[in-house]
Amino acid sequence: MGSARSASPQRWVIKIGSALITDGTEGLNKPRIADWCRQFATLINHNVELVLVSSGSIAEGLHRLGWPTRPTEIHHLQAAAAVGQMGLVQTYESELIEHGVRTAQILLTHEDLSNRTRYLNARNTLRALVGMKVLPVINENDTVTTEEIRFGDNDNLAALVANLLEADKLVILTDQQGLYDSDPRTNANATLLAHAHPEDPKLLSMAGPSGSSVGSGGMTTKILAAQRAARGGTQTIIASGREKNVLLRLHAGEAIGTTLTPQQQKLEARKRWMANQLKVKGTLTVDEGAVRKLQEGTTSLLAIGITSVAGVFYRGQLVSCLTTEGAEIARGLVNYSAEEIQQIAGCHSSQIEQRLGFVREPEVINRDVMVSM
């Protein structure tokens, strides 16, 4: 199987977390970055198309500004990110140019990947860059985002980029060895999971609460990222960035850390985009009959199966379909606005014209623009 793929390049997205890339209050850990850059260059020279999602801009900004502690005000965090991003990219560029590799800076927000046109533009630009053997360095555009900056965002961003590029592998380098079956801080017999499937519901219970610091803790966002990446058929590896030559050894086929290999069927591109949007414009609660049909993934959503509508949205926007208990079972692009769906909810398709005075489509969401969750 390996020989069949050897002729065409592999495509990897590598994510490096703040705990690895920074050196306490001293800003960036430049010797460690230099070592990763050496490995990046070797991989690129071995026909691997690389994209890097790197944390560390805020920590570097705090160091450059001389701030001893992380501020709580969002505008101060954004200012630190703006200052630190300069040093972060400058460090990557200066190290990689020593190996003959050029870099490009890409700053994204979740909105960039939620808008279909911007999503496709980002994909085309990244494909062009990796095709030219340029290493894109991606970060969330913390300077302009209106959401709170919090740990773990770059795990999700890396998964979205992996889906965007249909990457073969998402490699998440962390300060831990991988995912354990229990918290090694409290269980001396905790075992590192070498292999698992990201869809396994037991993984999240093993991970513990998001934001824990060691062992199985702090892995929640990484598992969620692996689940998101799996929708595009991408395999995720969670490994320690402190392992010597970790990237080169992974490329050679060595088993390091935890490998999460998807079992689910790969979604086609448009449905993958819909599934991976982090925000939806509203929700439709559906009855048990509609739940069964939507979970089969073979039917459209009709007005008769809708019991309630929440949010303000318009035709063509993305909404979630929920059970009466609030579980998301599908999402898709609606043919009607929230106000219009409120008027036709629970009625037969033949009654839509009577209630609205017009009919756009007999379905509220057509199966061709819907994805099961």
**Domains along the chain?**
7-271 (3.40.1160.10), 280-372 (2.30.130.10)
H or E segment to which residue 80 belongs? helix 74-97
The mean of the pLDDT values for the chain is 86
pLDDT band, very low/low/confident/very high, at 142 (cuts 50, 70, 90): low
The pLDDT value recorded for residue 311 is 94
Q: pLDDT per residue over 309-341, tens digit each?
A: 999 999 988 899 999 999 998 998 999 999 999
pLDDT at 101 over 80: yes
pLDDT at 192 over 60: yes
pLDDT at 151 over 70: no
* Alpha-carbon 77 to chain mean position: 22
pLDDT at 36 over 90: yes
Q: How many CA atoms lie within 13 A of 283 on its CB side?
A: 14
The pLDDT value recorded for residue 268 is 76
pLDDT band, very low/low/confident/very high, at 143 (cuts 50, 70, 90): low
pLDDT band, very low/low/confident/very high, at 83 (cuts 50, 70, 90): very high
Q: Which residues pair with 322 in a beta bridge?
A: 285, 328
Q: pLDDT per residue over 289-298, tens digit each?
A: 999 888 877 7
pLDDT at 173 over 70: yes
Q: Are strands 258-260 and 235-240 parallel, antiparallel or unpaired?
A: antiparallel
H or E segment to which residue 154 belongs? helix 153-165
Give CA–CA dist 76/13, Å, rounded.
Answer: 30
Average pLDDT of 126-147? 84
pLDDT at 141 over 80: no
Give CA–CA dist 227/110, Å, rounded.
Answer: 17
Give CA–CA dist 320/274, Å, rounded.
Answer: 10
Position with higher pLDDT, 148 vs 137: 137
Comparing 28-32, 120-124, 174-178, 212-216, the range with the smallest average pLDDT is 212-216
Give CA–CA dist 252/90, Å, rounded.
Answer: 30
pLDDT at 212 over 50: no
Phi-psi region of 66 (alpha: psi -120 to 50; beta: other; left: phi over 0): left
User: Which residue has tokens 């991003």?
Assistant: 85
The pLDDT value recorded for residue 201 is 82
Q: pLDDT per residue over 1-25, tens digit each?
A: 343 344 578 999 999 988 899 866 5
pLDDT band, very low/low/confident/very high, at 279 (cuts 50, 70, 90): confident
pLDDT band, very low/low/confident/very high, at 146 (cuts 50, 70, 90): low
Give CA–CA dist 47/232, Å, rounded.
Answer: 21
The pLDDT value recorded for residue 24 is 61
Comparing 77-91, 135-149, 234-248, the range with the smallest average pLDDT is 135-149
The pLDDT value recorded for residue 297 is 73
The pLDDT value recorded for residue 263 is 85
pLDDT band, very low/low/confident/very high, at 299 (cuts 50, 70, 90): confident
Average pLDDT of 243-265? 93
pLDDT at 167 over 50: yes
* Percent of all residues in the chain with a pLDDT value above 70, rounded to a whole number: 91
Calculate the alpha carbon distances from 32 to 82, 139, 242 in Å: 22, 19, 8
DSSP state of 133: T
Q: Which residues pair with 196 in a beta bridge?
A: 260
Give CA–CA dist 16/269, Å, rounded.
Answer: 26
Q: From the CB of residue 154, how many other CB atoms can be counted at a distance below 10 Å?
A: 23
Joined together, the tokens standing for residue 101 give 């590799």
Average pLDDT of 208-217? 40
